Amino acid sequence: MAFKKIVSFLIVVLELLLITQIAWADTTGEVNFEFSYSPESGELDGGANLNLKYTDSISDQHYLTADLLFSYPEEDFNLIRINEAFVQGIQTPWEEVDYRLGLLQITWGASDIMSPVDVVNPRPFSLSFTEEALEEKLPIPALNLEWYHSFTWWLEFLYQPYFVANYIPHSMEENMLVNQLAHSLTVDPSQLELSLSKENPQVDFLHPIWGIRTQGMLGNIDVALSYFQGYYLSSYPYQTQITYHPDGTLSSQVNSGYPRKTMVGLEFQGEFPLLEGSTFRGDLALFVPERWINQIIITQPDGTVITNQEEILNEPYWKASFGIDYTTEQDVVLNTAFVLGNPYEEGKDVSPYLFLSAEKTSEDGKWTPFITSGLSLWDGSMVNAVGTRYQPETNWEVSFTYTFSSGSPQSKLGAVGDGFFLGIEHVF
């Protein structure tokens, strides 16, 4: 771990905090320090970030919000990242309309995490099983408009004229592809050299990504229906050229793109009638993908060329998330959830999971031990997170988590591995 760099970053954070408090009294934010240790590799790592959120009124009905993240840089990430930056209008240009325009984070879906309906924002790649990592999003340039039709129903419209993909370090993505190709070709990954190129879809002002969502009440149940027209946020290969060389090595050129997709979603949440003190929530999404075929061209050492086709996306499929929250008389918060498809699974890769979690806050409100378990119903692999959160003061929180998984590295959850995580957060 580059300890000196983290100390230097801490000094910069303290200076920014001082400047912020002097210059902008309306600025709020938080400072986070995260440390991790992998028993498997023996690596100790750490990072820090400063999140600043500034809001100011431009007029009686218009507001400006800027949400910036200064982080200890990871591979391919910038030191400064914009979480959100937008102009917001309240009851304008008509009394029944609100809007946001700029770099936005949009949340659809009733589920707490891994909602299949929450398809708008891309995400940074992470193997962490913490709640913060699962919820992290990257902003998109968009217009988000809400029209309040009545006290119980409103309509939301999304217009996005620029495409933003999921973030994953280029070297990591290439390594993942090398391992997948080497496994399918039954060769040593060290003997395979790979080059990856990506082609973004044509998205502009005349060919935008867009969506529409209506939300309201049916009896005592919150319901929302959504329709989204856009693209997959992770790329898929459409041409893979593999060349066998006389010395026994292989080289591969992978050309990938982002297929178009249509999503129709249903969200619902309310009180569970059979168990007092419990609530339920669920999301159901139907995806209709563009037909996507990977053309595989293999050149043998003697010059013979073999051509195959692999159909990656070819027909509609479902993803879902259903959960129940229950608080016992002893104030133990329990949650169980069935998930069909995680955020990185699409088409034939969609598989079922079961998640269980429990936590209890101490009587003085300072300690909250928790446990979360996830089980793949597809291959039996499992990941668990055990830890506690400690809140010595209202604006301070320390969290410690130990995660461990079971299953092969190729299984659904086995790749998460084992690790210790320490987090320190200060809100101001």
Q: Divide the 428 residues of the chain into consecutive groups of 10 and give the mean pLDDT of each group.
A: 54 56 66 87 81 89 90 60 93 94 96 90 78 83 95 95 92 86 84 93 97 94 97 96 90 96 97 86 97 95 92 96 93 95 92 97 96 96 96 95 90 88 91
Q: What is the pLDDT of residue 208?
A: 98
pLDDT score of 82 = 87
Instruction: Look up tokens 């591979």; give the residue.
Output: 75
Please tell me the predicted confidence (pLDDT) of residue 313.
95
Those residues whose C-beta lies under 8 Å from the C-beta of residue 226, and which sit 6 or more positions away, are 108, 117, 211, 212, 213, 214, 263, 264, 265, 266, 267
What residue type is assigned to position 125 of the chain? F
Per-residue confidence (pLDDT) for residue 188, from 0 to 100: 86
Identify the helix (H) or strand (E) that includes residue 350. Answer: none
Q: Please report how many Cα atoms fall inside a 13 Å half-sphere around the Cα of residue 18, on the Cβ side.
A: 6
What is the total residue count of the chain? 428
Which of 117, 339, 122 is CA-nearest to residue 228? 117
What is the CB-side half-sphere exposure of residue 14 using CA atoms within 13 A? 6
- Single-letter amino acid, residue 335: N
Q: What's residue 125's pLDDT?
A: 80
- Which residue type, as a one-letter code, is found at position 30? E
